[in-house]
Amino acid sequence: MADLPLPPGSTIGILGGGQLGRMLSQAASRLGFDVVILDPEENSPAGRVSRGQIVAAYDDPTALNVFGRVCDVVTFEFENVPAASVERLAEAGALVAPGPTALAVAQDRVDEKTFLNAVGATTVKFAAVDSVDDIMAELDQVGLPCLLKTRRDGYDGKGQAWIRDYTNVPEAWAAIGGRPAILEAKAAFTRELSIIAARGRDGAVAVYPLGENKHAGGVLRTTNAPAQIDAKTEKRAKAIAASILDGLAYVGVIGIELFDLGNGTLLVNEIAPRVHNTGHWTQDGCVCDQFEQHIRAVAGWPLGPTKAHAQVEMTNLLGDEVEQWSKLAAKPDQRLHLYGKAEARPGRKMAHVNRVRPL
């Protein structure tokens, strides 16, 4: 096992070759690290800016063996990497961060909400359901309307359906594919906030200013940060972040989505054990962005500063919106971040742009 902190020239392995892996690799390169990607897609966005890529399934035992041997530390860019693969790497002696526990908790929405409530990070009412009959039995407790979501997988609004009354329960169950699910009460929130936080190997915690998020069709469109919040809300958000990080003995950056009910009352919507779309504003709003922060944490380096030096509006570019790149690149107050994806499918995240203004 590698000695910590990792010196420049060490190799960091990233499970996943998408845009988050790409930006993590770029940050690692700035700090003098080499990066190896494991991803089943040849010529992945992250692989093209890294020292190398192993093209294999995430659960390929031979690939995981090689990956663990050539990397001094392993991390991941998205939470749908099989938790068993991360456990296999750790059991073989690889240094993995965040650990398999955080990944397993985030992969199952019932386990996630159970954990959150156990550490004092309150959520909406919820119930685990495995059939139409289960849903009917829980509706009085959870309340109408409510949201039905698959327990596992699902992102950007996929794998979920609203239940407005008893009559559309079978339709909602069919819409999510009749899979094990969670029933969530509707939150009477005024806005969605998010907080990006990090925990180092020494237990130190660093928290970025909160962002305010706007969604369309279940997909994040914009994040404005720092959000306009009062001291009570900020204090509560930081306490939630610290309780989650410590509860998981976490190492790395985590994204936490919050429902703001007003008067300092916050409910946790979900957590993501990785760098997060709502933290992209830090690339142009902070000295140490979320990607560098994550690399610092997993490599055992001191955490970097999180204070904002600019007001940033981050906007996702979906599908053929990326064709505006020339126009956007010409704007002096905007920074364009392209992901290097070959195909601009409808709704696919292709890039983001940060509009920067003075604080």
pLDDT score recorded for residue 158:
77
DSSP character at residue 278 = G
Residue partners of 175: CB distance under 8 A and separation at least 6? 148, 161
User: For the chain, how many residues are written?
Assistant: 359
Looking at the chain, the whole-number percentage of residues with pLDDT higher than 90 is: 93
pLDDT score recorded for residue 156:
62
Residue partners of 282: CB distance under 8 A and separation at least 6? 196, 208, 225, 288, 289, 290, 293, 306
CA distances (Å), origin 220, targets 49, 224, 237, 252, 357: 26, 12, 20, 23, 21
**Could you tell me the sign of the dihedral formed by the alpha carbons of 245, 251, 256, 262, in that order?**
positive
Q: Taking the CB of residue 225, how many other CB atoms lie within 10 A of it?
A: 27
The vertex-273 CA angle with 138 and 269, nearest 5°, equals 35
Inform me whether the pLDDT recorded for 153 exceeds 90. no
pLDDT in tens, 194-221: 999 999 999 999 999 999 999 998 899 9
Q: Taking the CB of residue 310, how many other CB atoms lie within 10 A of it?
A: 17
Inform me whether the pLDDT recorded for 272 exceeds 80. yes
Q: Are residues 49 and 155 in the same domain?
A: no
Q: Which of 167, 185, 203 is the last residue of a domain?
A: 185
Q: Are residues 76 and 142 in the same domain?
A: no
Residue 329 lies in a domain: yes
Q: Are residues 175 and 217 in the same domain?
A: no
Residue 106 lies in a domain: no
What CATH number should be reported for the domain holding residue 26? 3.40.50.20
Q: Are residues 153 and 205 in the same domain?
A: no
Q: Taking the CB of residue 77, how many other CB atoms lie within 10 A of it?
A: 23
pLDDT in tens, 49-103: 999 999 999 999 999 999 999 999 999 999 889 989 999 999 888 999 998 899 9
Q: Are residues 26 and 154 in the same domain?
A: no
Q: Which of 185, 207, 231 is the last residue of a domain?
A: 185
Inform me whether the pLDDT recorded for 114 exceeds 70. yes
Q: Are residues 271 and 253 in the same domain?
A: yes
Looking at the chain, the whole-number percentage of residues with pLDDT higher than 70 is: 99
Q: Give the mean pLDDT of 352-356.
A: 98
**Please, are residues 192 and 291 in contact by the beta-carbon 8 Å criterion?**
no
Residue 353 lies in a domain: yes
Please report which confidence band the pLDDT of residue 300 belongs to, taking 50, 70 and 90 as the band edges. Answer: very high
Name the pTM for this structure. Answer: 0.96
CA distance 84 to 323: 39
The vertex-195 CA angle with 11 and 31, nearest 5°, equals 25
pLDDT in tens, 155-196: 666 789 999 999 999 999 999 999 999 999 999 999 999 999
CA distance 45 to 261: 38
Of 89, 70, 14, 71, the residue nearest 275 (C-alpha): 14
Token readout for 288 is 């140490």
CA distance 159 to 352: 24
Q: Are residues 161 and 202 in the same domain?
A: no
CA distance 16 to 79: 10
Residue 318 lies in a domain: yes
CA distance 290 to 288: 7
Rg (CA), the chain: 20
Q: Are residues 216 and 349 in the same domain?
A: yes
Token readout for 249 is 């003995």
Q: Which domain holds residue 70?
A: 11-96
CA distance 202 to 191: 34
Q: Are residues 174 and 197 in the same domain?
A: no
Inform me whether the pLDDT recorded for 286 exceeds 80. yes
Q: Which of 165, 185, 205 is the last residue of a domain?
A: 185
Q: Are residues 242 and 297 in the same domain?
A: yes
Q: Taking the CB of residue 277, how many other CB atoms lie within 10 A of it?
A: 21
pLDDT score recorded for residue 330:
97
CA distances (Å), origin 328, targets 235, 335, 343: 36, 8, 19
Residue 110 lies in a domain: no
Q: Give the mean pLDDT of 230-249.
A: 97
Q: Are residues 241 and 337 in the same domain?
A: yes
Q: Are residues 175 and 200 in the same domain?
A: no
pLDDT score recorded for residue 1:
65
Number of domains in the chain: 3
pLDDT in tens, 311-350: 999 999 999 999 999 999 999 999 999 999 999 999 999 9
